[in-house]
Amino acid sequence: MSAVVGRKRGFDRDDVLDQVTRAFWRDGYQATSVADLTATTGVNPPSLYAAFGDKQALFAEAVARYQQTYGAFTARALDEEPTARHAVERILTEAAIEYTTPDRPKGCLILSAPELTGPRDQARQAVEAKIRHDVATGVLPSGTDAHRLAVFVAATVRGMSSLARDGATRAELHDVARTALSVWPAPVP
Amino acid sequence: MSAVVGRKRGFDRDDVLDQVTRAFWRDGYQATSVADLTATTGVNPPSLYAAFGDKQALFAEAVARYQQTYGAFTARALDEEPTARHAVERILTEAAIEYTTPDRPKGCLILSAPELTGPRDQARQAVEAKIRHDVATGVLPSGTDAHRLAVFVAATVRGMSSLARDGATRAELHDVARTALSVWPAPVP
DNA sequence: TCCAATCTGTAACGACCACTACACAAAGCC
DNA sequence: GGCTTTGTGTAGTGGTCGTTACAGATTGGA
C-alpha cells in the first residue's frame, strides 16, 4: 500500500490541498493556473503532479474536499433536521454565514464553477426528496409542489452565493434567506 | 468624420459584434479566445483588432450591445412601468423568457461574468430607487425596506440566470418568479 | 554501506495565448 | 493612370499555459 522506502514528501498534502481549494474557490478552475498554485503553495510542479495528478484531478479532489468541509453544512442540515422546513431554514441561514466568513473566498465553490452542474443538481434533488417525504408523511399539505419549491430554494441559494461574491454583507444575505423562507407553505395542523 | 477613401471593410461590423457577444455570453470572457472569435466570425485577427481594438475593448462593446438589446428588458420595465411592483413583476417574467430563449446562450451575460459587478450593482440600485420612490409617494407602506427588497429581487434574478445556465426550463423559471413575487408587500389601500 | 525507491528543483517541452509587422489588395481623389 | 488611404491575409512576435525529462537528494531495507 503505502511507500515504505524512498524520500519523504516535503509538504503536508492536506495543507496544500486546502490552499489549492481556496485558490480554485476564489478564482475558478480556468483562471487558476498551475503556476499560481505552485506559487501560493510553494510546491513545485513535479511534486504537485506526483501528489495529485493533473490539474483536473487536483480540481476534482479540491471539490471533494470542499464538499466535506466548507460545503458540508447543506448535507448535514438535510441529514440532521427532522423536516424539510427545518432543513431549508438551516441551509439558508448557514449559507448566509458560510458565504461571508472572513478570510475565506466568498460564496460557494460549487455554485460558482460552471463545470459543476452535477453536484448542483444533486443538492437540489436532495432538497426535493426531503420535501417530497414531508408531503408523503402529511407534514406538508398534499398540494405542495415539491419540485417547484426545491427549485425556488436552489434559486435562492444561488442568488445568495452570487451576491456574496459581489461583496454582499452577512446581514443582507440573512435578509434574503428570511424573505425567501416566508413563502414556505404552512404545515398541516 | 468617416473615412471617404480606402478599401472598404469586408464584413458587417454589427453582425460580427453580435456573434462576438453571443460567444462571450456563452463561454465568458476568459474562456473565449481571440482565435475562437476569428473562427466563428470568419474575421482575421488584424481586421478584428482594427475594428474593435483589443480583446477587452471588444468585450466592453459586446457588453454594451447586450445591454441595449438582449438585456434591455430590465431598463425598459423600470422605465415604462408605473410602480416598482409592476416593474419587478415584468422583469422577473421577462427574465424567465429571455433566459430560456432557444438559439441563444442561456441566462444573462452580465450576471454570468464575474468581472461585471458594476453593471450588476447599477441594476439593483435602479430597482431600489424605484421601490424607494413608491414608498415616498405612498404606493408602498412606509415601513418597507427598499434596500432589502431590492437585494431580494437581485438574488432572485441571479438565481434564475444561474438555473437557466444549468438547463432549467422556462416553466421552472416562471415558477421561481411567481414564488418570489408572492413576498411583495401589499400596496397601501 | 550499497541499493532501490521515492521525492525535489531546474529547466525545459510543445501548444496555445493576445497581439502585430508586413506586404498586398481595393477603394476614392487628382 | 498615379497617389493616398484603409482593410485583408499570412505569418509571425514574445509570453504563458499545462505538463514533464532529468539529475540530484533523501529515505528505508538488505
pLDDT score, position A4: 74
Neighbours of B128 (CB within 10 A): 19
Q: Do A159 and B157 touch (CB under 8 A)?
A: yes
pLDDT score, position B1: 47
Q: Do A31 and B28 touch (CB under 8 A)?
A: no
**Closest CA of chain B from A85, distance in Å:** 16
Residue A26's closest chain B neighbor by CA? B114
* Whether pLDDT at B180 is above 80: yes
Task: Assess whether A10 (CB) lies less than 7 A from strand C.
Answer: yes
Which positions in chain B touch A32 (Cβ < 8 Å)? Answer: none
Mean pLDDT of chain B: 97
Task: Assess whether B47 (CB) lies less than 7 A from strand D.
Answer: yes
Name residue B35's amino acid: A
Interatomic CA distance for residues A39 and A20, integer angstroms: 11
For chain A, the helix, strand and coil percentages under 3-state DSSP, each to the nearest 5: 65, 0, 35
Nucleotide nearest to B51 (CA to C1'): D7
Which positions in chain B touch A108 (Cβ < 8 Å)? Answer: none
* Whether pLDDT at B47 is above 80: yes
pLDDT score, position A3: 65
pLDDT score, position A189: 84
pLDDT score, position A38: 98
Q: Which residues of chain A have pLDDT under 70?
A: 1-3
Torsion from C-alpha of B171, B175, B176, B177, nearest 10 degrees = 100
Task: Assess whether B35 (CB) lies less than 7 A from strand C.
Answer: yes
Percent of chain B at pLDDT exceeding 70: 98
Nucleotides of C under 7 A from a protein CB: 4-12, 16-22, 25-29
Q: Angle between the B13-27 and B55-68 helix axes, to the nearest 10 degrees?
A: 90
Provide the whole-model pTM: 0.96
Name residue A69's amino acid: T
Location of C-alpha cell 481586421: B47
* Whether pLDDT at B155 is above 80: yes
Interface test with B, best of A179, A182, A183 (most B CBs within 10 A): A179
pLDDT score, position A2: 57
Which positions in chain B touch A31 (Cβ < 8 Å)? Answer: 30
Interatomic CA distance for residues B94 and B88, integer angstroms: 10
Which of B30, B163, B172 is facing A30, going by the closest CB pair?
B30
Residue A170's contacts (CB-CB under 8 Å, 6 or more residues apart) are A96, A97, A100
Cβ distance A157 to A111 under 8 Å?
yes
Q: Give the up-direction half-sphere exposure of residue B166: CA atoms within 13 A in the CB hemisphere.
A: 27
Cβ distance A67 to A119 under 8 Å?
yes
Judged by DSSP in three states, A108 sits in coil
Distance in Å from C28's C1' to B3's CA comes to: 10
Which positions in chain B touch A179 (Cβ < 8 Å)? Answer: 148-149, 152, 183
Nucleotide nearest to B4 (CA to C1'): C28
Q: SS3 for chain A, per residue?
A: CCCCCCCCCCCCHHHHHHHHHHHHHHHCCCCCCHHHHHHHHCCCHHHHHHHHCCHHHHHHHHHHHHHHCCCCHHHHHHHHCCCHHHHHHHHHHHHHHHCCCCCCCCCCHHHHCCCCHHHHHHHHHHHHHHHHHHHHCCCCCCCCCHHHHHHHHHHHHHHHHHHHHCCCCHHHHHHHHHHHHCCCCCCCC
The 10s digit of each residue's pLDDT in A161-189 is: 999 999 999 999 999 999 999 999 999 98
Residue B145's closest chain A neighbor by CA? A175
List the helix and strand counts (H, then E) for chain A. Answer: 10, 0
Q: Give the up-direction half-sphere exposure of residue B77: CA atoms within 13 A in the CB hemisphere.
A: 19
Task: Assess whether A172 (CB) lies less than 7 A from strand D.
Answer: no
Which of B114, B151, B159 is facing A155, going by the closest CB pair?
B159
Percent of chain B at pLDDT exceeding 90: 96
Which positions in chain A touch B172 (Cβ < 8 Å)? Answer: 148, 151
Cell numbers for A115, please give them. Answer: 463545470
* Whether pLDDT at B109 is above 90: yes
Q: Give the up-direction half-sphere exposure of residue B112: CA atoms within 13 A in the CB hemisphere.
A: 28
Give the model's confidence band at B134: pLDDT under 50 very low, under 70 low, under 90 confident, else very high. Answer: very high
